[in-house]
Amino acid sequence: MAIIVQKFGGTSVGSPQKIKAVADRVLRYKNEGHKVVVVLSAMSGETNRLTDLAFQMQARPDTREMDMLLSTGEQVTVALFSMAIKEAGHNAISFLGDQVKILTDSTHTKARIQSIDTEKIFKYLDEGCVVTVAGFQGVDGVGDITTLGRGGSDTTAVALAAAMKADVCEIFTDVEGVYTTDPNICAKARKIDRISYDEMLELASLGAKVLDIRSVAFAKRYNVPLHVRSTFTETEGTWVVEEDKIMEDVIVSGVTYNKNEARVTICGVPDQPGIAAKIFSPISDADINVDMIIQNQDTGAGLTDMTFTVMRIDYVRTMELLKGVAKEIGAKGIYGSDSITKISIVGVGMRNHSGIATTMFNVLANEGINISMISTSEIKISCVIAEKYTELAVRALHDAFVLEKPDLPSEAYELDNPKK
């Protein structure tokens, strides 16, 4: 008998019929003797409906009231789901964030979980209930409702699994798991059987949408085995686990890309101490996040170029801010592009293998793709290229690292002892 936390996303609970199907699936686990805690998102479309209403009221909706508003989406789902379980003849109870004291800080719309009180949950599990917890929401120290931001229900599920020392946290979604790359642009994309937390973190931060990065970080910190799988099939999905649980020695696990960024260069900048601060202060003051930053070596003229990427939606504002900065510091000019892609390869095996970066650069060069920025970490290499080459680059890299080859067979995880 295991303690299982199962999270179902918005498309999995998008209609009364789908909610019933999820209830049936959850009850199969309960009938096998497991204790099941279910975390649900809002029905698909609901969060958008509520957000639209908010923007009809206020140009920049108040974040406290936004959380008050958006948290209703999950509340509706957990109530309906508990009804479905009861209709099937089983006992069920639903809880909101504040009812199981999912205590967060007060950063409305992107709060962080500080603690969870699992007492009530265990009490009702022991009484044979399917316990359902509203995802995405918490409560702060003064009793205000908070929400956890994008992918917040994943975070709720992982945090609950950690607090309960659950045997596994299953993330049910509309795909079958984590793929070596986007199957929509590469027919050879293959579902990964097992991946390490660190690789998943890189993939998530680089644009793979299947898991929210914060939930992966949470899972890593508390060593919660994650199982990403499809709501609509019985197939095993992808296990996200500790690195030493990965039997195979995979060098590159996946190819990912991110089209949401834009590239900005400020050139002919006097190469003096404090110049970076002068450039980036107005940008961070405007709440614009900067991702990659590259500063070229001063080649002797006392001038340097600074290139960085920002979210594409912040591109126009960033260029405007930089105009002022360039004048102030006497830079020669600014230019940029909002039609770029950051393409990345990720894999823990890179640590022990040299030449991976060279292979990547060669593959891109052979396709005639120019690289305008490079950034690396211990387990990933990212290149910024022109957006139009995205699909070509993904397929070429997927081929070059032979990612369609299956993982070596590995002992399957079992629910009763998934941590083995």
The site for its own copies (CB under 8 A) is made up of 16, 19-20, 50, 53-54, 56-59, 61-62, 64-66, 68-69, 71-72, 75-76, 78-80, 82-84, 86-87, 92-94, 96, 98-99, 143-145
Q: Which residue has the tokens 């199969």?
A: 28
Question: Is the Cβ of residue 93 or residue 169 nearer to its own copies in the bound state?
Answer: 93
138: burial class by Cβ within 10 Å (0-12, 13-18, 19+)? buried
Q: How far is the CB of 77 from its own copies (least distance, A)?
A: 9
| Pair 37, 125: CB distance under 8 Å | yes
Residues 6+ apart with CB under 8 A from 364: 371, 383, 385, 393, 396, 397
Q: How far is the CB of 205 from its own copies (least distance, A)?
A: 31
Helices (H) and strands (E) counted in the chain, each on its own, are 11, 20
**CA 337, CA 300: separation in Å to the nearest integer?**
27
Q: How far is the CB of 5 from its own copies (least distance, A)?
A: 20
Q: How far is the CB of 76 from its own copies (least distance, A)?
A: 5
Tokens linked to 21: 């199907």
**CA 404, CA 282: separation in Å to the nearest integer?**
45
Q: How far is the CB of 20 from its own copies (least distance, A)?
A: 7
Q: How far is the CB of 45 from its own copies (least distance, A)?
A: 13
| Pair 31, 63: CB distance under 8 Å | no
| Pair 348, 195: CB distance under 8 Å | no
Q: Which residue has the tokens 């698909």?
A: 44
Question: Is the Cβ of residue 125 or residue 325 nearer to its own copies in the bound state?
Answer: 125
Question: Is the Cβ of residue 96 or residue 206 nearer to its own copies in the bound state?
Answer: 96
Q: How far is the CB of 301 from its own copies (least distance, A)?
A: 52
**CA 420, CA 418: separation in Å to the nearest integer?**
6
- Per DSSP, helices labelled H in 175-274 are 197-206, 213-222
**Whole-Å CA distances, 301 to 228, 271, 294:** 53, 9, 18
Question: Is the Cβ of residue 68 or residue 329 nearer to its own copies in the bound state?
Answer: 68
Residues 6+ apart with CB under 8 A from 339: 386, 387, 388
Question: Is the Cβ of residue 55 or residue 335 nearer to its own copies in the bound state?
Answer: 55
Q: How far is the CB of 134 from its own copies (least distance, A)?
A: 9
Question: Is the Cβ of residue 32 or residue 62 nearer to its own copies in the bound state?
Answer: 62
Question: Is the Cβ of residue 93 or residue 125 nearer to its own copies in the bound state?
Answer: 93
Q: How far is the CB of 54 from its own copies (least distance, A)?
A: 6
Question: Is the Cβ of residue 144 or residue 242 nearer to its own copies in the bound state?
Answer: 144
Question: Is the Cβ of residue 61 or residue 254 nearer to its own copies in the bound state?
Answer: 61
**Whole-Å CA distances, 319 to 260, 291, 333, 339, 387:** 16, 15, 11, 14, 19
